[in-house]
Structure formats: C-alpha cells, structure tokens
Amino acid sequence: MTTVVTPPALEILVREPDGFSLWNGPPFTNDQPSVKLERAPCKSAGFSEDGSKLMVMKSESVISIYDCSSYKEIRSFEVPNVLAAILSPCGTYLQTFQKSTTPQEKNVVLWIIETGDSVYQLFQKNMTKTTWPSIRFSSDEAVACRLATNQIHFFDAGDLSRGIINRLRIPGVAALELSKTTGSHVAAFVPESKGVPASVQIFACAKDLQSQPLARRSFFRCSSVQLSWNNGSTGLLVVVQSDVDKTNQSYYGESKLNYLTTDGTHEGLVPLRKEGPVHDVQWSYSGSEFAVVYGFMPAKATVFDKKCNPLLELGTGPYNTIRWNPKGKFLCLAGFGNLPGDMAFWDYLEKKQLGATKAEWSVTSEWSPDGRYFMTATTAPRLQVDNGIKIFHPNGSLYYKKMFDKLYQADWKPESPDRFGEIAELVKSVGSMKIEESKPQGQAKKSSQAAAKPTTAIPPAQKPAAYRPPHAKSAAAVQAQLFGGSPSEQMSKNALKNKKKRDKQREKKAAEDASAANDA
C-alpha cells in the first residue's frame, strides 16, 4: 500500500516596526491569510536554510531560537552588544558578532543551540559581505571553514571545539564560496596585485586533494566577483565586475560571465549574444541549467545547459532579475530597482510565455518553496512609502495584495522542494486560468463573462519625442543603445519638419534681400 506523504504548509514571515508575525501561506481561506504566530517585538528575524529553526533578535542582547515544528522557544542567548547573528544551514549552530574594542576580546562566537554552550570564539575587526558569516558551512553542514589572511581555515564540522584542523594557503585570497550540497569544493578569489591578474580557483575540501587547484581562471580588469555554485557541486558561475569600462559604454563599469567545472572540462567565458553588463544569473534547482539576464537595455535573457549551449531564448525587455521556480518548471523575468517592475512568466518545460504583469517598486522577490506562487515585497528602509506584499500565480495573475504603513521583511519559510509533489496538478490549474493583464489601482474587475473573452493587447500610444538639436543626434543614438528604443523614426520626422522651417526662412530672407536690392 502506497503511503501518501502530506506536503508541508507554506508559511510567511512578516516583520513590521512593532515586531514580527507568521502567516499561514497560500492557498488562503476567504482570500485572507490567517496568523499562525501572533506578533512579537523584535529587531530582526530569520530562518535557518532548511527551515527547521527560527532566530529572533529581541533586543541588543537577547536572541531567542524557536523550533519551527511547534514554534516554541527552545533556547535564549544573552549576548551583550550584538550587532549581527545568523543560524547555520541545518540550525545546529548560532553565530554572533559583537562590538569589540581590543583584539584580545573575541567578538565572534559560535554557539551550539541544543546545549547553549559556546563551541568556538575568534576576533574579527569588522563585518562585510565577504567576511560575514565568519565561519561558513556547506548546506549539509559537512564542511566548515573561514577566511583568514592568505589562508582558508577548515574545521571539523562534527566537533568545532577541536579548532582548526587544516590550513589551505592561498596568497592574497579575499573571498571564498563553499559549494552547496554536497560541500565538497571551495572557490577562492584572489584580486589583482602588482600587475598580476585576478583569479578564481577551485579546491577540494578534503585535505589530501588540496595540493593543486582543480580549476583556475584568471581575469584582467577585475574589481570584484560574484560566485554561484550549482546543486551537485559540479559547476561554478563567476560574474567578474570591473569598476571601469574602457569602451566608455557604461558608467557602471563592465562585467563578464565565466564558467568553471570541478572536473576541469570547462574554463572560460559563457558565450553571451549581446554586449553589456551581466544583470543576474541563477542555476536551476537540478543544477543542470542556468539562466542569465544580460546586455544593455532592453536586456536579453537566455537559458544555457552545463556545457554553455543555449537552450531557450526568453526574449528582450526591461529586465535585470531572474527567479527560477524551485521545481525547475517556471521562470520569472523582472525589472526591479530603478526599472519599472515589468515581470514575464515562462514555462521552461513547455518553452512558452505564460503571462506578463507589473510589480512596481519591488525590493525583494522569491518563489514559494512548492513553486506555485511568486511573492514580491516593497520594504523599508529601501523605500519608505508604498510598502506592501503581492503574491502572483505562475501565469502572472495577482492572487493576493496587502499594503503596510511600513514593512521591513517578508520571507517564505524555507522548505526542501523535494518535500512537495510534482506540479502535474498545477499544470492543469494554470491551463484553466486566464492570463490577466496588469490593471491600474482602483480599476474595477471585469465580469466573469467578459473575462472569459479573449482580449488583444493594445500597444500604448507613443509620446512625441523631445526636440534635440542637430549636434545631439549622436548622443541620442548612444542613449538608444544604452536604454533601449529606436528614435530613428521620430528623429527623421522632427528633422524633416525642422528642415522645412529652415528652407522657408531661407526663401523668405532671399526674397527680402532681392526686394531690397531692386529698391536700391
């Protein structure tokens, strides 16, 4: 007899100025979410990567840990002057960073949540994106390491009280990234120094295999990198960013996308088909494909396989963000930040676009763990007005919307996608749903009969172009290349109109001069 495993319920963490609360996720009863955990005051909150623990920083010195199966407090830590705290991926450890005045004061502490004991301490002068968390864990907590001066220190993940068990020397190393499941490899970034180009190297985490890097790639004109491992720990994507664009095509420097494999079969550039920056890149959950948004606006989006062969072109548009559904079926292309918030939803398996909509002023965006809903949030302090949450279906239709006076955080509770069933039933529901166009706020919904009728999108009327003097034509062409658009038609009309004006003025002046000469 086959045992039917009930998938876990979706949950949403919402944090406002007066504290955090937990909602039961969609589908909602009566189109409104119910509260699973009542609002409680806090400064910050966050789940462990596997969703088993919830960390709540209640004040500058009190951190509480909750078991997510019952949401009962299982441990409380008194940590004076704490500035930051984070849970390990499986919720085994709590890592805290405190204010420190002297190097003798060890201000980074690793705590065992089960016992509440301190298992390791060290001193760290400051906290940056590359140095926090100080001790990094792989997703399965099989490997633990930290970045040190010219070295990477490895720990016994099962017993960190043993301290450092291995030191990997890499002169000039400035950043590292542990591979995900499994935690078998580590990528190290060494910036440029004294004419020596920057490089990214891949090493095995096992001490016996660290004599030589498994893969290496050097870069000229490299200021920083973004490192992204796939699930399976076989491939590494490296976005190389330079502060200066020597072609003078962008104020924001230039960026290139490189791909390295742990078996050394591929070390080189990903063949992108449009010039311009790399806006975003993300692996699929299977680790067999990755999607890239790149190029000057309107940006281009392409899905590649593990051999960098293009599999699917997702078109062009005002996009700088890509989010891959955890089940690998749906993709969302979006333009957030300084872009107007356009979103396009694609069915990757069927190779077709499902719908398009807008989510203006979105700060965060993510798929639900089961892959059935896409949530965007406008949060403070990035934006102080129009804070709110929007949840969409995979075809772009709006499922739920709620506005807040001020919203600091909105996150799905993490769950493994393997705990949810396949999306066979979702495919049927998507087929029955109508792809709705985005509507301005306050516009009444159409009746069900009208909604059932097919509609044709009417392109917006083009606004007349602003006058540009003749010497600005080249600047307009560059602007069109950077930001998208083809002003050639409007420019030709304006130029023709101005030319006629000038011709009439010349004829009038010539007639006046001829009349004056005859009178003389």
pLDDT tens-digit readout, 6-26 = 788 899 999 999 999 999 988
Residue 342 pLDDT exceeds 50: yes
Angle at 437 between CA 310 and CA 292, to 5 degrees: 20
Report the alpha-carbon distance of residue 484 to residue 507 in Å, rounded: 39
Residue 455 pLDDT exceeds 90: no
Q: Which of 337, 354, 347, 331 is nearest to 297 (CA)?
A: 337
Edge to edge, what strands does the sheet with 72-78 contain?
A: 44-47, 53-57, 62-67, 72-78
Contact 290/282 with Cβ under 8 angstroms? yes
User: Cα–Cα distances in Å, from 474 out to 53, 409, 485?
Assistant: 58, 45, 14
Which amino acid is it at 255? S
Report the alpha-carbon distance of residue 35 to residue 25 in Å, rounded: 9
The count of other CB atoms within 10 Å of the CB of residue 310 is 14
pLDDT category at 239 given cuts 50, 70, 90 is: very high
Residues 123 and 142 in one domain: no
Residues 118 and 147 in one domain: no
pLDDT category at 346 given cuts 50, 70, 90 is: very high
Residues 219 and 149 in one domain: yes
Report the alpha-carbon distance of residue 235 to residue 287 in Å, rounded: 8
Residues 108 and 158 in one domain: no
Does residue 38 or residue 391 have the better pLDDT? 391
Residue 309 pLDDT exceeds 50: yes
The alpha carbon of residue 201 and the mean position of all alpha carbons in its chain are separated, in whole angstroms, by: 24
In a domain, 421, yes or no: yes
User: Based on the structure, what is the number of domains in the chain?
Assistant: 3
What would you report as the CA-atom Rg of the chain, rounded to the nearest whole angstrom? 28
Please state the pTM of the whole predicted model: 0.76
**167 phi and psi angles, rounded to 5 deg:** -125, 125
Q: Could you give the 3-state DSSP secondary structure of residue 332?
A: strand
Angle at 316 between CA 341 and CA 394, to 5 degrees: 55
Angle at 242 between CA 237 and CA 247, to 5 degrees: 115
Residues 129 and 149 in one domain: no
User: Cα–Cα distances in Å, from 189 out to 136, 177, 182, 197?
Assistant: 15, 9, 20, 11
User: Which of 135, 170, 192 marks a domain boundary?
Assistant: 135
In a domain, 16, yes or no: no
CA dihedral in degrees (203, 209, 214, 216; nearest 10)? 50
User: Which of 111, 135, 159 marks a domain boundary?
Assistant: 135
Name residue, tokens 């003097």.
469
User: Cα–Cα distances in Å, from 279 out to 205, 298, 320, 387?
Assistant: 30, 12, 5, 25
Residues 293 and 386 in one domain: yes
Average pLDDT over residues 63-90: 91
Pick from 119-133, 299-313, 385-399, 440-454: least confident: 440-454
Residue 250 pLDDT exceeds 90: no
What's the pLDDT score for residue 462?
43
pLDDT tens per residue across span 389-403: 999 999 999 999 999
β-strand partners of 390: 376, 401
What's the pLDDT score for residue 465?
53
In a domain, 401, yes or no: yes
What's the pLDDT score for residue 61?
86
In a domain, 282, yes or no: yes
Residue 485 pLDDT exceeds 50: no
pLDDT tens per residue across span 177-202: 998 877 788 999 999 888 889 999 99
Residues 334 and 350 in one domain: yes
Residues 278 and 402 in one domain: yes
Instruction: Identify the domain containing residue 163 by its residue range.
Output: 138-269
Name residue, tokens 């190393």.
173
Residues 207 and 279 in one domain: no
The count of other CB atoms within 10 Å of the CB of residue 343 is 25
Report the alpha-carbon distance of residue 329 to residue 347 in Å, rounded: 6
In a domain, 504, yes or no: no
In a domain, 415, yes or no: yes
Residue 148 pLDDT exceeds 70: yes
CATH number for the domain harbouring residue 55: 2.40.10.480
pLDDT tens per residue across span 461-470: 444 455 555 5
Residue 170 pLDDT exceeds 70: yes
In a domain, 294, yes or no: yes
**77 phi and psi angles, rounded to 5 deg:** -115, 135
Residues 360 and 311 in one domain: yes
What's the pLDDT score for residue 1?
41
Average pLDDT over residues 154-167: 86
CATH number for the domain harbouring residue 408: 2.130.10.10
Chain mean pLDDT for the chain = 82
Residues 110 and 124 in one domain: yes
Residue 472 pLDDT exceeds 60: no
Cis peptide before 298 (omega within 30 of 0): yes
User: Which of 91, 112, 135 marks a domain boundary?
Assistant: 135
Residues 253 and 342 in one domain: no
3-state SS record for 98-139: ECCCCCCCCCEEEEECCCCCEEEEECCCCCCCCCCCCEEECC
In a domain, 468, yes or no: no
